[in-house]
Copies of this chain bind each other. A is one copy, B any other.
Amino acid sequence: MRREVTLRDVAELAGVSSRTVSNVVNGYANVTERTRERVQRAVEELGYRPNVLARNLAQGRSGQIAVVVPYLDTPYFSELLQSVIRAARVGGYNVLIDQTDGDPEHERAFIADGSRRLLFDGVIFSPLGLDQQALTDRDPTLPLVILGERSSDGFFDHVGIDDVAASRQATEHLLDMGRQRIAAIGDQPYATGEAAQRRTRGFCDAHKGRGLTPQEDLIIQTPRFNRIDGAQAMNHLLDLPEPPDAVFCYSDLVALGAIRSIVSRGLRIPEDIAVIGYDDIEDGSYSNPTVTTISPDKEWIATTAVERLLLRIASDTPPPGLELRAPHRLIVRESTAGRTPDAR
Protein backbone atom coordinates (compact mmCIF):
# COMPACT_ATOMS: atom_id res chain seq x y z
CA MET A 1 0.00 0.00 0.00
CA ARG A 2 1.05 3.56 -0.65
CA ARG A 3 2.29 5.37 2.42
CA GLU A 4 -0.04 8.19 3.47
CA VAL A 5 1.35 11.71 3.08
CA THR A 6 1.71 13.10 6.61
CA LEU A 7 1.58 16.53 8.19
CA ARG A 8 5.32 16.24 8.65
CA ASP A 9 5.92 15.75 4.91
CA VAL A 10 3.99 18.95 4.24
CA ALA A 11 5.90 20.81 6.95
CA GLU A 12 9.24 19.69 5.51
CA LEU A 13 8.39 20.75 1.96
CA ALA A 14 6.98 24.12 3.09
CA GLY A 15 9.89 24.69 5.45
CA VAL A 16 7.64 25.32 8.46
CA SER A 17 6.81 23.45 11.67
CA SER A 18 4.18 20.70 11.86
CA ARG A 19 2.19 22.92 14.21
CA THR A 20 2.05 25.64 11.55
CA VAL A 21 0.75 23.17 8.98
CA SER A 22 -1.85 22.01 11.49
CA ASN A 23 -2.91 25.61 12.10
CA VAL A 24 -3.35 26.21 8.37
CA VAL A 25 -5.20 22.96 7.74
CA ASN A 26 -7.57 23.60 10.66
CA GLY A 27 -8.18 27.17 9.52
CA TYR A 28 -6.78 28.88 12.62
CA ALA A 29 -6.10 32.61 12.30
CA ASN A 30 -2.60 32.83 13.81
CA VAL A 31 -0.73 32.33 10.53
CA THR A 32 0.51 35.02 8.11
CA GLU A 33 -0.98 35.06 4.63
CA ARG A 34 2.41 34.30 3.11
CA THR A 35 2.99 31.23 5.29
CA ARG A 36 -0.57 30.07 4.62
CA GLU A 37 0.05 30.20 0.86
CA ARG A 38 3.33 28.31 1.17
CA VAL A 39 1.66 25.57 3.18
CA GLN A 40 -1.30 25.38 0.80
CA ARG A 41 1.06 24.93 -2.13
CA ALA A 42 2.83 22.07 -0.32
CA VAL A 43 -0.52 20.49 0.58
CA GLU A 44 -1.57 20.51 -3.07
CA GLU A 45 1.78 19.39 -4.39
CA LEU A 46 1.87 16.35 -2.10
CA GLY A 47 -1.84 15.60 -2.31
CA TYR A 48 -2.04 15.73 1.49
CA ARG A 49 -5.41 14.85 3.03
CA PRO A 50 -6.08 16.05 6.56
CA ASN A 51 -6.68 12.94 8.63
CA VAL A 52 -10.34 13.32 9.57
CA LEU A 53 -10.48 10.12 11.51
CA ALA A 54 -7.35 10.93 13.50
CA ARG A 55 -8.81 14.34 14.29
CA ASN A 56 -12.05 12.71 15.42
CA LEU A 57 -10.10 10.29 17.55
CA ALA A 58 -8.26 13.12 19.24
CA GLN A 59 -11.66 14.50 20.13
CA GLY A 60 -12.74 11.05 21.31
CA ARG A 61 -15.32 10.46 18.60
CA SER A 62 -15.53 8.73 15.22
CA GLY A 63 -18.47 10.59 13.66
CA GLN A 64 -20.16 7.26 13.00
CA ILE A 65 -23.08 5.48 14.58
CA ALA A 66 -23.73 1.78 14.13
CA VAL A 67 -27.14 0.38 13.32
CA VAL A 68 -27.34 -3.32 14.05
CA VAL A 69 -30.26 -5.34 12.69
CA PRO A 70 -30.87 -9.08 12.37
CA TYR A 71 -31.60 -9.12 8.62
CA LEU A 72 -31.05 -6.46 5.99
CA ASP A 73 -33.25 -8.13 3.41
CA THR A 74 -36.33 -7.90 5.62
CA PRO A 75 -38.33 -5.02 4.14
CA TYR A 76 -39.35 -3.74 7.58
CA PHE A 77 -35.68 -3.19 8.47
CA SER A 78 -34.59 -1.87 5.08
CA GLU A 79 -37.43 0.66 5.10
CA LEU A 80 -36.58 1.67 8.67
CA LEU A 81 -32.84 1.87 7.94
CA GLN A 82 -33.43 4.25 5.10
CA SER A 83 -35.09 6.69 7.50
CA VAL A 84 -32.35 6.18 10.10
CA ILE A 85 -29.62 6.99 7.58
CA ARG A 86 -31.36 10.20 6.53
CA ALA A 87 -31.90 11.31 10.12
CA ALA A 88 -28.27 10.52 11.04
CA ARG A 89 -27.00 12.44 8.06
CA VAL A 90 -28.95 15.51 9.18
CA GLY A 91 -27.15 15.17 12.53
CA GLY A 92 -23.77 15.01 10.76
CA TYR A 93 -23.24 11.29 11.31
CA ASN A 94 -22.37 8.45 9.00
CA VAL A 95 -24.07 5.14 9.57
CA LEU A 96 -22.22 1.86 9.88
CA ILE A 97 -24.71 -0.93 9.30
CA ASP A 98 -24.27 -4.47 10.44
CA GLN A 99 -26.49 -7.49 10.22
CA THR A 100 -26.23 -10.16 12.89
CA ASP A 101 -28.37 -12.94 11.41
CA GLY A 102 -29.80 -13.02 14.94
CA ASP A 103 -26.61 -14.73 16.17
CA PRO A 104 -26.38 -14.02 19.93
CA GLU A 105 -22.57 -14.04 19.92
CA HIS A 106 -22.39 -11.59 17.07
CA GLU A 107 -24.97 -9.37 18.75
CA ARG A 108 -23.11 -9.51 22.05
CA ALA A 109 -19.82 -8.51 20.40
CA PHE A 110 -21.41 -5.30 19.22
CA ILE A 111 -22.50 -4.07 22.60
CA ALA A 112 -20.02 -5.76 24.93
CA ASP A 113 -16.67 -5.82 23.12
CA GLY A 114 -14.88 -2.57 23.87
CA SER A 115 -12.25 -3.10 21.19
CA ARG A 116 -14.71 -2.24 18.42
CA ARG A 117 -15.97 0.68 20.38
CA LEU A 118 -13.95 3.43 18.70
CA LEU A 119 -15.41 2.68 15.31
CA PHE A 120 -18.70 4.22 16.39
CA ASP A 121 -19.95 6.69 18.96
CA GLY A 122 -23.17 4.86 19.70
CA VAL A 123 -25.44 2.03 18.58
CA ILE A 124 -29.05 1.69 17.49
CA PHE A 125 -29.67 -1.97 18.02
CA SER A 126 -32.50 -4.30 17.10
CA PRO A 127 -31.67 -7.47 19.02
CA LEU A 128 -33.06 -10.84 18.08
CA GLY A 129 -30.87 -13.48 19.72
CA LEU A 130 -30.02 -11.61 22.92
CA ASP A 131 -32.36 -11.63 25.87
CA GLN A 132 -32.90 -8.84 28.35
CA GLN A 133 -30.18 -10.11 30.67
CA ALA A 134 -27.52 -10.05 27.96
CA LEU A 135 -28.49 -6.47 27.17
CA THR A 136 -27.80 -5.56 30.77
CA ASP A 137 -24.30 -7.13 30.60
CA ARG A 138 -23.16 -4.67 27.99
CA ASP A 139 -20.35 -2.11 27.89
CA PRO A 140 -21.92 0.48 30.21
CA THR A 141 -20.19 3.43 28.53
CA LEU A 142 -21.78 2.70 25.14
CA PRO A 143 -24.57 5.11 24.13
CA LEU A 144 -27.35 2.71 23.18
CA VAL A 145 -30.89 2.86 21.79
CA ILE A 146 -32.83 -0.37 21.41
CA LEU A 147 -35.53 -0.98 18.82
CA GLY A 148 -38.16 -3.68 18.85
CA GLU A 149 -39.32 -5.97 21.57
CA ARG A 150 -37.24 -5.33 24.64
CA SER A 151 -37.73 -3.04 27.59
CA SER A 152 -35.51 -0.27 28.85
CA ASP A 153 -33.53 -1.13 31.97
CA GLY A 154 -33.32 2.54 32.77
CA PHE A 155 -29.88 2.95 31.17
CA PHE A 156 -30.72 2.78 27.48
CA ASP A 157 -33.68 4.08 25.49
CA HIS A 158 -36.16 1.72 23.95
CA VAL A 159 -38.29 2.74 20.95
CA GLY A 160 -41.14 0.54 19.76
CA ILE A 161 -44.89 0.21 19.39
CA ASP A 162 -47.15 -1.42 21.97
CA ASP A 163 -47.17 -4.93 20.50
CA VAL A 164 -49.78 -6.36 22.82
CA ALA A 165 -52.26 -3.56 22.11
CA ALA A 166 -51.59 -3.65 18.35
CA SER A 167 -52.04 -7.42 18.17
CA ARG A 168 -55.25 -7.21 20.18
CA GLN A 169 -56.52 -4.57 17.75
CA ALA A 170 -55.65 -6.75 14.74
CA THR A 171 -57.45 -9.74 16.24
CA GLU A 172 -60.50 -7.68 17.21
CA HIS A 173 -60.75 -6.55 13.59
CA LEU A 174 -61.14 -10.21 12.57
CA LEU A 175 -63.60 -10.88 15.43
CA ASP A 176 -65.63 -7.82 14.37
CA MET A 177 -66.02 -9.48 10.95
CA GLY A 178 -67.80 -12.36 12.72
CA ARG A 179 -64.98 -14.85 12.17
CA GLN A 180 -65.18 -17.89 14.46
CA ARG A 181 -61.96 -19.84 13.90
CA ILE A 182 -59.09 -17.40 13.92
CA ALA A 183 -55.54 -18.72 13.54
CA ALA A 184 -52.28 -16.98 14.52
CA ILE A 185 -49.01 -17.55 12.62
CA GLY A 186 -45.63 -16.62 14.12
CA ASP A 187 -45.62 -17.65 17.77
CA GLN A 188 -42.20 -18.42 19.26
CA PRO A 189 -42.16 -19.96 22.70
CA TYR A 190 -38.48 -19.43 23.50
CA ALA A 191 -36.99 -16.74 25.68
CA THR A 192 -35.70 -14.83 22.69
CA GLY A 193 -39.01 -14.67 20.87
CA GLU A 194 -40.34 -11.77 22.91
CA ALA A 195 -41.89 -9.99 19.92
CA ALA A 196 -43.81 -13.13 19.04
CA GLN A 197 -44.90 -13.72 22.61
CA ARG A 198 -46.34 -10.22 22.94
CA ARG A 199 -48.30 -10.70 19.73
CA THR A 200 -49.65 -14.02 20.98
CA ARG A 201 -50.65 -12.31 24.22
CA GLY A 202 -52.58 -9.62 22.31
CA PHE A 203 -54.23 -12.34 20.20
CA CYS A 204 -55.39 -14.16 23.36
CA ASP A 205 -56.44 -10.93 25.11
CA ALA A 206 -58.73 -10.04 22.21
CA HIS A 207 -60.47 -13.41 22.48
CA LYS A 208 -60.79 -13.19 26.25
CA GLY A 209 -62.19 -9.67 25.98
CA ARG A 210 -65.11 -11.17 24.05
CA GLY A 211 -65.53 -14.11 26.42
CA LEU A 212 -63.90 -16.46 23.88
CA THR A 213 -61.06 -18.93 24.23
CA PRO A 214 -58.47 -19.03 21.42
CA GLN A 215 -57.96 -22.52 19.99
CA GLU A 216 -54.49 -23.82 20.88
CA ASP A 217 -54.13 -25.83 17.68
CA LEU A 218 -54.67 -22.70 15.58
CA ILE A 219 -51.65 -20.89 17.11
CA ILE A 220 -48.77 -21.89 14.82
CA GLN A 221 -45.11 -21.49 15.71
CA THR A 222 -42.58 -20.46 13.04
CA PRO A 223 -38.78 -20.17 13.18
CA ARG A 224 -38.77 -16.72 11.54
CA PHE A 225 -41.23 -14.14 10.16
CA ASN A 226 -40.59 -14.75 6.46
CA ARG A 227 -42.75 -15.58 3.44
CA ILE A 228 -41.73 -19.22 3.59
CA ASP A 229 -42.82 -19.46 7.23
CA GLY A 230 -46.25 -18.07 6.36
CA ALA A 231 -46.66 -20.37 3.36
CA GLN A 232 -45.73 -23.52 5.29
CA ALA A 233 -47.86 -22.68 8.33
CA MET A 234 -50.85 -21.86 6.14
CA ASN A 235 -50.50 -25.14 4.23
CA HIS A 236 -50.62 -26.93 7.58
CA LEU A 237 -53.74 -24.98 8.62
CA LEU A 238 -55.49 -25.67 5.31
CA ASP A 239 -54.87 -29.40 5.80
CA LEU A 240 -56.72 -29.41 9.16
CA PRO A 241 -60.14 -31.11 9.24
CA GLU A 242 -61.58 -27.70 10.10
CA PRO A 243 -59.39 -24.97 8.57
CA PRO A 244 -59.53 -21.43 10.01
CA ASP A 245 -61.76 -18.70 8.54
CA ALA A 246 -59.28 -15.94 9.42
CA VAL A 247 -55.58 -15.66 10.22
CA PHE A 248 -53.52 -13.08 12.14
CA CYS A 249 -49.95 -13.11 10.76
CA TYR A 250 -47.10 -11.70 12.90
CA SER A 251 -45.52 -9.92 9.88
CA ASP A 252 -46.60 -8.82 6.41
CA LEU A 253 -44.08 -11.28 4.94
CA VAL A 254 -45.81 -14.10 6.83
CA ALA A 255 -49.15 -12.78 5.51
CA LEU A 256 -47.85 -12.71 1.92
CA GLY A 257 -46.69 -16.32 2.25
CA ALA A 258 -50.03 -17.35 3.74
CA ILE A 259 -51.94 -15.52 0.98
CA ARG A 260 -49.90 -17.35 -1.63
CA SER A 261 -50.87 -20.73 -0.10
CA ILE A 262 -54.56 -19.79 0.11
CA VAL A 263 -54.71 -18.50 -3.48
CA SER A 264 -52.79 -21.54 -4.77
CA ARG A 265 -55.57 -23.79 -3.43
CA GLY A 266 -58.22 -21.79 -5.25
CA LEU A 267 -59.71 -20.34 -2.05
CA ARG A 268 -61.00 -16.77 -1.89
CA ILE A 269 -59.65 -13.96 0.32
CA PRO A 270 -61.40 -12.69 2.43
CA GLU A 271 -64.59 -14.67 1.67
CA ASP A 272 -63.13 -18.06 2.68
CA ILE A 273 -60.24 -16.84 4.80
CA ALA A 274 -59.50 -13.28 5.93
CA VAL A 275 -55.83 -12.34 6.43
CA ILE A 276 -54.21 -9.58 8.46
CA GLY A 277 -50.47 -8.79 8.63
CA TYR A 278 -48.11 -6.61 10.67
CA ASP A 279 -45.43 -3.99 9.70
CA ASP A 280 -47.03 -2.19 6.72
CA ILE A 281 -44.26 -2.87 4.22
CA GLU A 282 -44.75 -1.43 0.73
CA ASP A 283 -45.24 -4.89 -0.73
CA GLY A 284 -48.56 -5.26 1.09
CA SER A 285 -50.17 -2.35 -0.74
CA TYR A 286 -49.39 -3.84 -4.18
CA SER A 287 -50.03 -7.54 -3.59
CA ASN A 288 -53.12 -9.37 -4.83
CA PRO A 289 -55.06 -9.00 -2.62
CA THR A 290 -53.56 -6.01 -0.78
CA VAL A 291 -52.84 -6.76 2.89
CA THR A 292 -54.68 -5.34 5.90
CA THR A 293 -51.98 -4.57 8.45
CA ILE A 294 -50.76 -2.97 11.66
CA SER A 295 -48.69 0.04 10.59
CA PRO A 296 -45.95 1.18 13.02
CA ASP A 297 -44.87 4.77 12.37
CA LYS A 298 -41.40 3.94 11.02
CA GLU A 299 -40.44 7.56 10.41
CA TRP A 300 -41.22 8.35 14.06
CA ILE A 301 -39.23 5.35 15.24
CA ALA A 302 -36.19 6.24 13.09
CA THR A 303 -36.03 9.94 13.92
CA THR A 304 -36.68 9.37 17.63
CA ALA A 305 -34.01 6.68 17.84
CA VAL A 306 -31.41 8.90 16.14
CA GLU A 307 -32.32 11.96 18.24
CA ARG A 308 -32.03 10.02 21.49
CA LEU A 309 -28.73 8.44 20.44
CA LEU A 310 -27.14 11.75 19.44
CA LEU A 311 -28.31 13.21 22.75
CA ARG A 312 -26.64 10.34 24.61
CA ILE A 313 -23.44 10.76 22.61
CA ALA A 314 -23.32 14.49 23.36
CA SER A 315 -24.10 14.13 27.07
CA ASP A 316 -21.42 14.12 29.75
CA THR A 317 -23.84 12.42 32.13
CA PRO A 318 -25.99 9.82 30.36
CA PRO A 319 -29.68 10.82 30.38
CA PRO A 320 -32.07 8.32 32.01
CA GLY A 321 -33.28 5.51 29.73
CA LEU A 322 -36.76 6.07 28.37
CA GLU A 323 -39.51 3.80 27.10
CA LEU A 324 -40.67 5.55 23.93
CA ARG A 325 -43.95 4.28 22.51
CA ALA A 326 -44.19 4.81 18.77
CA PRO A 327 -47.67 5.36 17.30
CA HIS A 328 -49.31 2.62 15.23
CA ARG A 329 -52.59 2.24 13.36
CA LEU A 330 -54.70 -0.41 11.68
CA ILE A 331 -54.83 -0.08 7.88
CA VAL A 332 -57.72 -2.00 6.32
CA ARG A 333 -57.12 -3.35 2.81
CA GLU A 334 -58.49 -6.09 0.54
CA SER A 335 -57.33 -9.11 2.54
CA THR A 336 -60.09 -8.39 5.07
CA ALA A 337 -62.34 -5.81 3.32
CA GLY A 338 -62.48 -7.44 -0.11
CA ARG A 339 -62.02 -5.75 -3.44
CA THR A 340 -63.60 -2.30 -3.65
CA PRO A 341 -64.51 -0.69 -6.98
CA ASP A 342 -62.00 2.12 -6.39
CA ALA A 343 -59.15 -0.23 -5.60
CA ARG A 344 -55.88 1.21 -6.90
Contacts and interface: CB of A to CB of B under 8 A. Distances in A.
Copies of this protein, total: 2
Nearest to A83: B73
A119 to B, nearest CB: 6
A54 B287 contact: no
Contact of A85 (B4, B99, B115, B259): B99
Contact of A118 (B54, B75, B85, B283): B54
A145 interface: no
Contacts of A62: 53
B94 A49 contact: no
B49 A117 contact: yes
A94 B98 contact: yes
A12 B119 CA distance: 26
Contacts of A54: 54, 57, 118
Interface string A42-70: 00000101111110010011101000000
Interface string A317-344: 0000000000000000000000100011
A213 interface: no
**What are the 5 A-B residue pairs with the smallest beta carbon separation, nearest first?**
A49-B114, A97-B97, A78-B78, A53-B118, A288-B288
30 contacts: A1-B314, A1-B315, A1-B316, A2-B141, A2-B316, A47-B114, A49-B118, A50-B115, A52-B116, A53-B62, A53-B119, A72-B72, A72-B82, A73-B82, A73-B282, A82-B99, A85-B97, A94-B98, A96-B96, A97-B97, A227-B283, A231-B286, A257-B286, A260-B286, A260-B287, A260-B344, A264-B344, A287-B287, A287-B288, A288-B288
